[in-house]
């Protein structure tokens, strides 16, 4: 996504619109699979504000993510805005500045950086996702296993048998229970 800005570099206040697609390969980010079902569609405006060029834009992409709860893949639209300052020289005082060279700006790194910031940290296929059974591993969105009841029953049984043992000790000491 290289945008020629030679036409706006001469005049302060000059701006130009742009539009394009950024094609990215499926990737693994922080241990999780990110699939791109569409390119990232980007549009916006570049404005010469004197010292800098300002970028204002929007981006959208359809992703295939993996649910952090039930591990199933699911599709999700991601839309985000882009706001960046572009300069020919780096400014250590201002971490929001992206550097470009010559008369052209490559938006790839900028869009990619904003994209990573927008990725949901906890990826859920739905807010109601019931996840996997911690005992047998079945997908609780699709099937219902007996583990939960069986486990609750076993816990109750263990508590009861401990109480019985306590009662026996107490009655052996001649106390009323
Ligand atoms: Zn899920
Ligand atoms: Zn189960």
Q: What is the mean pLDDT of residues 25-44?
A: 95
136 CA distance to ligand 2 middle (Å):
4
Taken in order 119, 124, 125, 128, is the CA torsion positive or negative?
A: negative
The predicted-structure confidence for 129-138, as pLDDT tens digits, reads as follows: 999 999 999 9
Is the pLDDT reported for residue 67 higher than 70?
A: yes
70 CA distance to ligand 1 middle (Å):
4
74 CA distance to ligand 1 middle (Å):
8
151 CA distance to ligand 2 middle (Å):
10
Ligand nearest to the CA of 148: 2
Ligand nearest to the CA of 143: 2
Taken in order 42, 44, 46, 49, is the CA torsion positive or negative?
A: negative
Residues 69 and 131 sit within 8 Å (Cβ to Cβ): yes
The predicted-structure confidence for 35-65, as pLDDT tens digits, reads as follows: 999 999 999 999 999 989 999 999 999 999 9
- Identify the weakest region by mean pLDDT among 64-78, 83-97, 135-149: 83-97
DSSP output for the chain: -EEE-HHHHSSTT-EEEEEEEE----EEETTEEEEESSPEEEEEEEEE-SSSEEEEEEEEEEEEEE-TTT--EEEEEEEEEEEEEEESS--TT-TTEEE-BTTEEE-HHHHHHHHHHHS-SS--S-TT---B-TTT--BTTT---SHHHHHHHHHHHHHHHHHHHHHHHHHHTT---
Q: For residue 11, is it left (φ>0), alpha (ψ between -120 and 50) or beta? A: beta
pTM score: 0.77
141 CA distance to ligand 1 middle (Å):
8
37 CA distance to ligand 1 middle (Å):
19
Q: For residues 10 and 55, what is the distance between their CA atoms, to the nearest angstrom? A: 17
**Residue whose tokens read 């052209």:** 104
134 CA distance to ligand 2 middle (Å):
7
**Residue whose tokens read 């020629």:** 4
pLDDT value for 111: 96
32 CA distance to ligand 1 middle (Å):
14
150 CA distance to ligand 2 middle (Å):
9
């Amino acid at each position: 996504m290289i945008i020629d800005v030679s036409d706006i570099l001469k005049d302060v206040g000059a701006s130009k619109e742009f539009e394009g697609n950024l094609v990215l390969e499926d990737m693994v980010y922080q241990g999780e699979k990110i699939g791109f079902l569409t390119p990232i569609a980007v549009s916006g405006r570049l404005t010469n504000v004197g010292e800098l060029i300002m970028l204002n834009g929007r981006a959208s992409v359809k992703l295939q993510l993996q649910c952090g709860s039930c591990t199933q893949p699911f599709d999700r639209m991601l839309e985000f805005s882009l706001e960046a300052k572009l300069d020919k020289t780096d400014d250590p005082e201002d971490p929001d500045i992206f550097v470009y060279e010559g008369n052209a700006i490559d938006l790839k790194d900028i869009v990619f950086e904003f994209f990573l910031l927008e990725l949901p940290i906890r990826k859920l296929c739905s807010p109601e996702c019931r996840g996997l059974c911690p005992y047998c591993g079945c997908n609780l969105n699709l099937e219902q296993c007996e583990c939960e009841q069986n486990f609750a029953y076993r816990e109750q049984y263990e508590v009861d048998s401990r109480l019985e043992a306590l009662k026996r000790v107490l009655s052996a000491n001649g106390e009323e229970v």
